Structure 1
Amino acid sequence: MSKFIDRVVLQVRAGKGGHGCVSVLREKYKPLGGPNGGNGGNGGDVILEVDANVHTLLDFHFHPHAKAGNGKPGEGGDRDGKQGEDLLLKVPDGTVVIGPDGDVLADLIGAGTTYIAARGGRGGLGNAALASRARKAPGFALLGEEGEESEVVLELKSVADVGLVGFPSAGKSSLVSVLSAAKPKVGDYPFTTLVPNLGVVSSGDTTFTIADVPGLIPGASQGRGLGLDFLRHLERCAVLAHVVDCATLEPGRDPVSDVDALEAELAAYKPALAADAVLGDLADRPRVVILNKADVPDAAELAEMVSADFAGRGWPVFTISAVSREGLRPLTFALAEMVRQYREAHPKAAPTRPVIRPVVRGDSGFRVERDPELEGGFIVHGERPERWVHQTQFDNDEAVGYLADRLARLGVEEQLAKLGAESGAPVTIGDVTFDWEPQVSAGVDMVMTGRGTDPRLDQTERISAAERKHASRARRGLVEEDEVVE
């Protein structure tokens, strides 16, 4: 027997991006072939998609960890690494995705609706893509980014047109079984139904779904009994139908008090999503009162006595018997008409032509603040500088110099100087702390050195800007190498 699971905690982890490749073309008669290292492949995404054939979150209950494929590293010969495979997870219609802080991230309604729960890391650039006028043959490549990792909560809210509410053993499951092809468990004891049951009902030209929600009791809105576990399955219902047991022998219970007790619980419960609140609170939904078990003589007399009370509230009242099927036909037509009126008042949005837009991957800005823990230190916050640090090979001086150039072009160097940072001040970006050297500036001509080195980072033989300019002009034949630099 399969279990019905409507709430799970899922650990999602996207794939890592592949590292870029450092390679130089080496062929006969081509001593200066140039860099040809390829880029790393992007990591795969973790994607949630609504599937009409999935009705429970059972798979995620037994497999709560989901990880997408990693991107492959780049190779020589300008060969880019393979992209990591996306992980597609099928979820039932009406699944709500909630973040670690309790915020609603997505409300998945309709077959084919998708949501990217974790984005894969971007692959690092190879040295072929990093070549420039200043760096003819870079001796470094960028590292691939880590994929996103988070913990999300998946909650299922049934998407039904009519929701049946009532005390335990009121006959809700029996009613679903005779109105539709659904075959829920039926028993003569309380709380026989432990999970919501959905059935499809056809009446004339209208077809609608009906949900049998497990029996509610006073205090359900505060979590008593099955309480909040299943009240959320009523949030999307357009019509609420009270199924009243007119043959109960429990002392202190009668149809009017039963309905009043449940109305108080419905009024106390508030929809969690703004999209569900468009229908109004549960207390504002259209009502139908179904007086069940009319096949019992005493129950039929009691139903006749209380019908006027409910009709006085403006609610349609139907006396039925799920066993003998008495009164089911007019009830079915009435429910179909109420659903039809709701659909006319809330038409579905017409499908729009898809618009393709570039995906924004983080803010390009940054901010610098003083480090409260390190005296004279500073912390740089921002998606781009933190990502650049993660892409850098710190055992490669040329890669560190490239990072310095990027930070300078972004304006980090200038901002540090404005805040009074001095040479050697500890600066933290992401999880890396380094000593700031304002002399390492961007946009200068590089002196030709061995791959993997950067003369600007050589603390013992730091050259001046005039010397760098002279070396550049000497390479172009504009001046003699041994000419004195003024």
Structure 2
Amino acid sequence: MTTFVDRVVLHLQAGDGGHGCVSVHREKFKPFGGPDGGNGGHGGSVSLVVDPQVHTLLDFHFRPHVKAENGKGGAGSNRDGGNGRDLVIKVPNGTVVQTADGTVLADLVGVGTTIEVARGGRGGRGNASLANARRKAPGFAELGEPGDRLDVVLELKSVADVGLVGFPSAGKSSLISVLSAAKPKIADYPFTTLVPNLGVVRMDNHTFTVADVPGLIPGAATGKGLGLEFLRHIERCAVLVHVIDTATLEPGRDPVADIDAIEAELAEYGGLDDRPRLVALNKIDVPDGRDLADIVRPDLAARGLKIFEVSAATREGLKELTYAMAELVEQFRSATPVEEPTRIVIRPRAVDDAGFTIEAQADGSFTVRGDRPERWVRQTMFDNDEAVGYLADRLARLGVEDQLKKAGAEPGDLVRIGDREFDWQPTLFAGEEFVPGNRGTDRRLEEQPTRQSAAERLAARKARRQRPADEAEPTGDPDAEPTSDDDGE
């Protein structure tokens, strides 16, 4: 038997960007021909697209881990690495994409609808691309940026115009089998249908889809039976049809009680109060069923419900029921506004937007947040002093140094950017120009004073916070004798 899966958790990983290359061109009589390291390729992205041939999320149930291809690294002779191939995942129509905490990212309705859920990392630049007038032969390159990694929840909600609701064995599957070309499983025992069935109905110039919801019993909205798993499949329905078994032999069952029980579950689930209702009193081909239908018809009509006496076995009354469903579907479609094409709105960045923010933490440290600073840190080769100096220059030009001063940072304070921590030394780069030296080195870093240990930095920060505001900083030699300005009097 085919397994139906309508909710899965996908573990997505976009491709990482390829590393840039550090290379120097060499040939005979040209021992140093300049940098020629190529750029790394971009990592592949992960996208979801609606495919009409896919009807379930079963494949992702068995293979929940999805990974796109990484970008290739650059090479010498200005050879750029290849981009990783994008990964396109086919999903059924009506798939809702959510984050792990329930935030909806997209509702994929309509064949061809696409969303990029995980973006591939940028490729790092090679040293040929990093060369400039002052840094003619960089001894470093940029690392490839990691691709996005996240978990998303895919939830399938059937896209149907009419939803059939009712107790097990009420004849919902039988109705779909005679109204459309669908061939669901039909048997004489409860819970025969374990998956939602979807059928296309054509009547004259009307075409609409019908779906049944299996396993609705009292308590379904709270997890009893199968209803909780499949109630979501009628959320998109324009019309709900109560399929009532008028020939049931179960004690305590009657059409009015069945409708009240199902309506209670729909109200508990929520969001379906505005859908028009029809009532199909099924199995009137059975003598007792027809008699019961005649008895309850006045009570149901008094509630304002439109009632149809039908038989899936003899097809009696199905034409009238089909026309009524088609009419309500057309009314819903005509009242639904036509969706306008998606417009791309470009909002320029404000002139005073620095592209980053600085947050002072309770422990005396500072956190720099922003796309560019965090990306630059991820792509820096921290085992290369020249690359570290290049990062510091970029941050200073962006204004991070000035904003840290305004935020109250002092030399030696801990500064976090992304997943890296630094001891802030503002005097290290301020006003100093890069002076070329040996490749992979930076003279300014060599002149950096000896760094304090983590414990020493923490103690110094605590001492600064505990010092009274009016207490002056000690100056001069602490062992010198005190002096007086009173001429000895």
Give the TM-score normalised by structure 2: 0.87
- For the pair 1:366 / 2:362, whether they are aligned, the reply is no
SS at match of 1:284: coil
Give ranges in structure 2 of 5+ residues lacking alignment: 451-489
* Pairing 1:18-417 to 2, within 5 Å after superposition: 18-28=18-28, 30=30, 33-270=33-270, 281-349=271-339, 351=341, 365-373=355-363, 376-417=364-405
**Counterparts in 2 of 1:242 and 1:185: CA distance versus 1, 3 Å:** same
Give the CA deviation at 1:8: 0.7
> Quick one: percent identity of the two aligned structures?
66
Give the CA deviation at 1:380: 2.2
CA RMSD of superposed structures (Å): 2.2
**Counterparts in 2 of 1:171 and 1:98: CA distance versus 1, 3 Å:** same
Give the CA deviation at 1:144: 0.5
- 1:451 — aligned with what? 439
Give the CA deviation at 1:448: 2.4
Give the CA deviation at 1:334: 1.6
**Counterparts in 2 of 1:419 and 1:356: CA distance versus 1, 3 Å:** closer
1:50 is matched by which residue type in structure 2?
V
Give the CA deviation at 1:30: 4.9
Give the CA deviation at 1:64: 0.6
- 2:461 — aligned with what? none
**Counterparts in 2 of 1:364 and 1:260: CA distance versus 1, 3 Å:** farther
SS at match of 1:96: strand
Give ranges in structure 1 of 5+ residues lacking alignment: 271-280, 463-486
Give the CA deviation at 1:148: 0.6
2:426 is matched by which residue type in structure 1?
P
Give the CA deviation at 1:408: 0.8
- For the pair 1:440 / 2:424, whether they are aligned, the reply is no
**Counterparts in 2 of 1:442 and 1:324: CA distance versus 1, 3 Å:** farther
Q: Which moved more, 1:33-42 or 1:283-292?
A: 33-42
- 1:11-37 CA-partner distances (Å, limit 9, x unpaired): 010000000111222244556633222
SS at match of 1:241: strand
Cα distance in 1 for partners of 2:219, 2:2 equals: 29
Cα distance in 2 for partners of 1:364, 1:390 equals: 20
- 1:349-394 CA-partner distances (Å, limit 9, x unpaired): 2556x7597999xx96323233444xx5333233322221111111
- 1:140-180 CA-partner distances (Å, limit 9, x unpaired): 11100111111111110000000000011100011111111
**Counterparts in 2 of 1:347 and 1:377: CA distance versus 1, 3 Å:** closer
Q: Which moved more, 1:289-298 or 1:386-395?
A: 386-395
Preserved contact between residue 368 and residue 415 of structure 1 (Cα < 8 Å):
yes
Preserved contact between residue 263 and residue 283 of structure 1 (Cα < 8 Å):
no
Give the CA deviation at 1:244: 0.3
SS at match of 2:426: coil
- 1:278 — aligned with what? none
Give the CA deviation at 1:77: 2.0
- 1:278-334 CA-partner distances (Å, limit 9, x unpaired): xxx312101110000000111101111222222233322110111111111111122
SS at match of 1:439: helix
Give the CA deviation at 1:335: 1.2
1:332 is matched by which residue type in structure 2?
T
Q: Which moved more, 1:248-257 or 1:6-15?
A: 248-257
SS at match of 1:8: strand
Cα distance in 1 for partners of 2:404, 2:344 equals: 41
SS at match of 2:427: coil
Preserved contact between residue 283 and residue 313 of structure 2 (Cα < 8 Å):
yes
2:298 is matched by which residue type in structure 1?
A
Preserved contact between residue 243 and residue 289 of structure 1 (Cα < 8 Å):
yes
1:248 is matched by which residue type in structure 2?
T
**Counterparts in 2 of 1:461 and 1:282: CA distance versus 1, 3 Å:** closer
Cα distance in 1 for partners of 2:116, 2:354 equals: 22
Give the TM-score normalised by structure 1: 0.87
Pick the aligned partner of 1:424 from 412, 422, 438.
412
**Counterparts in 2 of 1:342 and 1:42: CA distance versus 1, 3 Å:** same
Preserved contact between residue 169 and residue 215 of structure 1 (Cα < 8 Å):
no
Cα distance in 2 for partners of 1:6, 1:92 equals: 10
Moved over 6 A (4+): 356-360
- 1:28-53 CA-partner distances (Å, limit 9, x unpaired): 45566332221111100111110000
- 1:50-85 CA-partner distances (Å, limit 9, x unpaired): 000000000001101000000001112222110011
Cα distance in 1 for partners of 2:401, 2:419 equals: 19
1:57 is matched by which residue type in structure 2?
L
